[in-house]
């Protein structure tokens, strides 16, 4: 069994480094005191400081203090040392530190591709053959098959799911809409053409798969495409040859699809008008299905399917998002009326950004729309967004590592919450015209790349101590020592939801409930929708 970097260690810093004028914080276990910034090349001390008063940090289970060296801006490679002998990993101070990681986080989606060979030119040693090309059986209609090849593998397994796929594409398209300059340089991809940015090429690969998932007869969306069971932990995608099944149509998948297709129609129009038109047509057809099915039950796996469920008891948030995007794209009053009615419901969060609650995307679409025709509703939504951002900032102020999670939020995929919160803080700041939240966003990024109780970068291939053994079947089965780069690990999970965690992590503090082993899928799996908010957040800094 592979294990590495499992115990919390030393002084925690952003192992990628710090931009010269950004907030720079080191988290130091213990009572604190004097600390030193040391030139890692010659050992000379270049900065002295005193930590903040120590606090007991409930999430990490540590007493910690914080050393602020924001005022030091000279480029170079450094480490933090204390007078009692603690030291940090080396890091840089530079004008730019995130460009390579940003590109890797985006390139990861290429490595998640299904249905095509990943060639050595674009995939390097992580190449593999084409996979999952057989038509899928429609569950419950065994004589009917649909050719729904393509798209992205969702996570460490090879399932493909509309709902989390829509969240991932939404994050990437939002990133492009807000920070187009961050995507000026090609990755490159096989489709790179010097005309359309590569982020749009990559999203299109998923969007075209989603279009194949729309039922030709009804316009609804099949919820997912998977085998009946997960394959073994080291099975490469091309060796996963079990029969593929389309799970039944769901309202949540159809609502997400209507939303993301309407959003795509708007974003792709300047680059490929026929594709944009196909997206809008698909969105309108999905909306018609939603209108015809106002009271659909939540999706649950059929009894013989054991792959990821992505179940959801209600679909108001997906309908809210779809109405907002269709209104923003078309300006049609019927979509505005539907949005206004859904906005009055309390069944979902208006500022959540996870696959189980998509309400935040609907709120963003409405507040960013130039078609706003209900200023009172917009004002209510904006006040709520600022209130939510202020709440997250207040939690960050109290947390020992500067992030916005309460101890009980270290759940499966806690790093998605970290990044979703950072994303919300950025967009709240942008829409309100304030920079008050930016220092908190810095600390969320620092946490991802090593300023955490584990002293690890939660991104494969990046940082002095990155995760090495993610729960990701291609990384386990390809014979390459290093995992696929640019993958965001799910992160600490106090729930003890796999056998390894149950045996080895019981009694750990919430933020320390993590294991860098393939076997701990509940802490160390990877997914497209943990990478996607990371791309958006880093886009702000490149």
Which pair of tokens denotes residue 5?
A: 């970097």
* pLDDT tens, residue by residue, 366-411: 999 988 789 999 999 999 999 999 999 999 999 999 999 999 999 9
Q: Look at the chain and count its residues.
A: 542
pLDDT for position 1: 40
Considering 22, 284, 516, 519, which one is annotated as catalytic? 516
Q: Are 536 and 516 in contact (CB under 8 A)?
A: no
Q: Is residue 2 pLDDT above 90, yes or no?
A: no
Q: Is residue 263 pLDDT above 50, yes or no?
A: yes
Residue 349 confidence class, pLDDT cut points 50, 70, 90: very high
The residue-averaged pLDDT of 250-254 equals 98
pLDDT for position 111: 98
Q: Is residue 6 pLDDT above 60, yes or no?
A: no
- Bridge pairing between strands 136-138 and 141-146: antiparallel
The residue-averaged pLDDT of 483-497 equals 98
Question: What percent of the chain lies above the pLDDT cut of 90?
Answer: 97
Which pair of tokens denotes residue 364?
A: 């963003």
Whole-prediction pTM value?
Answer: 0.97
Q: Are 255 and 290 in contact (CB under 8 A)?
A: yes
* pLDDT tens, residue by residue, 473-483: 999 999 999 99
Q: Are 396 and 402 in contact (CB under 8 A)?
A: yes
Q: Angle CA(486)–CA(492)–CA(495) in degrees, nearest 5?
A: 135
Residue 395 three-state SS: helix
Q: In the annotation, is 337 catalytic?
A: no
* pLDDT tens, residue by residue, 131-142: 999 999 999 999
pLDDT for position 371: 84
CATH number of this structure's domain 112-371? 1.50.10.10
Q: Are 335 and 323 in contact (CB under 8 A)?
A: yes
Q: In the annotation, is 81 catalytic?
A: no
Q: What is the mean pLDDT of the chain?
A: 96
* pLDDT tens, residue by residue, 23-47: 999 999 999 999 999 999 999 999 9
Q: Is residue 4 pLDDT above 90, yes or no?
A: no
Among 6-10, 107-111, 177-181, 197-201, the range scoring the smallest mean pLDDT is 6-10
* pLDDT tens, residue by residue, 403-449: 999 999 999 999 999 999 999 999 999 999 999 999 999 999 999 99
Q: Is residue 7 pLDDT above 80, yes or no?
A: no
pLDDT for position 372: 72
pLDDT for position 199: 98
CA–CA separation, 447 and 453 (whole Å):
9
Residue 143 three-state SS: strand
Residue 289 confidence class, pLDDT cut points 50, 70, 90: very high
Backbone angles phi, psi at 106, to 5 degrees: -75, -40
The residue-averaged pLDDT of 187-206 equals 97
The residue-averaged pLDDT of 340-355 equals 97
Q: Is residue 205 pLDDT above 70, yes or no?
A: yes
The residue-averaged pLDDT of 515-533 equals 98
Q: Torsion over CA of 272, 275, 280 and 282, rounded to 10 degrees?
A: -170
Q: Are 287 and 221 in contact (CB under 8 A)?
A: no
Residue 122 confidence class, pLDDT cut points 50, 70, 90: very high
Residue 321 confidence class, pLDDT cut points 50, 70, 90: very high
In terms of Cα–Cα distance, which of 220, 209, 214 is closest to 160? 209
Residue 9 confidence class, pLDDT cut points 50, 70, 90: low
pLDDT for position 254: 98
User: DSSP states of 231-298 as a string?
Assistant: PPTT--GGG--SPPEEPPEEHHHHHHHHHHHHHHHHHHTTT-HHHHHHHHHHHHHHHHHHHH-TTPPP
């Amino acid at each position: 069994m592979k294990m590495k970097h499992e115990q919390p260690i030393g002084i925690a810093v952003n192992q990628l480094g710090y931009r010269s004028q950004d907030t720079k914080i080191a988290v130091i276990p213990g009572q604190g005191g004097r600390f030193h910034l040391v030139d890692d090349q010659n050992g000379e001390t270049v900065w002295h400081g005193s930590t903040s008063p120590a606090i007991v940090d409930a999430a990490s289970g540590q007493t910690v203090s914080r050393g602020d060296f924001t005022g030091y801006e000279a480029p170079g490679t450094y480490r933090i040392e204390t007078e009692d002998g603690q030291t940090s990993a080396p890091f840089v101070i530079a004008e730019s530190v995130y460009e390579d990681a940003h590109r890797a986080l985006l390139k990861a989606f290429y490595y998640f591709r299904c249905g095509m060979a990943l060639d050595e030119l674009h995939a390097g040693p992580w190449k593999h053959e084409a996979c999952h090309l057989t038509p899928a059986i429609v569950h419950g209609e065994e004589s009917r098959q649909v050719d729904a090849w393509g798209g992205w593998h969702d996570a460490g397994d090879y399932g493909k799911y509309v709902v989390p796929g829509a969240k991932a594409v939404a994050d990437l398209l939002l990133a492009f809409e807000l920070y187009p300059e961050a995507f000026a340089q090609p990755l490159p991809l096989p489709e790179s053409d010097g005309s359309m940015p590569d982020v749009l090429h990559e999203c299109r690969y998923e969007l075209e798969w989603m279009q194949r998932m729309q039922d030709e007869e009804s316009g609804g969306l099949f919820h997912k495409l998977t085998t009946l069971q997960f394959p073994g932990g080291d099975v490469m995608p091309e060796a996963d040859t079990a029969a593929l099944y389309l799970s039944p149509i769901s309202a949540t998948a159809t609502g997400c699809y209507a939303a993301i297709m309407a959003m795509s129609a708007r974003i792709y129009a300047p680059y490929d008008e026929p594709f944009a038109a196909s997206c809008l047509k698909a969105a309108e057809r999905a909306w018609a299905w939603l209108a015809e099915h106002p009271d659909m039950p939540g999706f649950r796996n059929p009894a013989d399917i054991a792959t990821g469920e992505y179940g959801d008891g209600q679909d108001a948030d997906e309908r809210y998002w779809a109405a907002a995007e269709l209104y923003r794209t078309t300006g049609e009053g019927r979509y505005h009326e539907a949005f206004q009615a859904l906005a009055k419901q309390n069944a979902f969060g208006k500022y959540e950004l996870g696959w189980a609650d998509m309400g935040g995307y609907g709120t963003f679409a409405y507040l960013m729309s130039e078609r706003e025709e209900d200023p009172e509703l917009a004002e209510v939504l904006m006040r709520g967004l600022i209130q939510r951002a202020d709440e997250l900032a207040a939690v960050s102020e109290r947390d020992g590592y500067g992030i916005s999670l309460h101890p009980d939020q270290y759940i499966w995929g806690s790093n998605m919450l970290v990044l979703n919160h950072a994303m919300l803080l950025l967009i709240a700041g942008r829409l309100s015209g304030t920079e008050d939240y930016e220092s908190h966003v810095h600390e969320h990024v620092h946490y991802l790349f090593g300023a955490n109780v584990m002293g690890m970068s939660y991104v494969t291939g990046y940082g002095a101590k990155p995760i090495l053994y993610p729960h990701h079947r291609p990384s386990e089965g390809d014979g390459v020592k290093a995992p696929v780069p640019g993958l965001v690990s799910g992160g600490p999970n106090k729930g003890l939801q796999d056998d390894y965690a149950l045996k080895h992590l019981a009694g750990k503090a919430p933020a320390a409930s993590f294991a860098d082993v393939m076997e701990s899928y509940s802490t160390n799996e990877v997914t497209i929708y943990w990478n996607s908010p990371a791309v958006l957040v880093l886009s702000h800094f490149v």
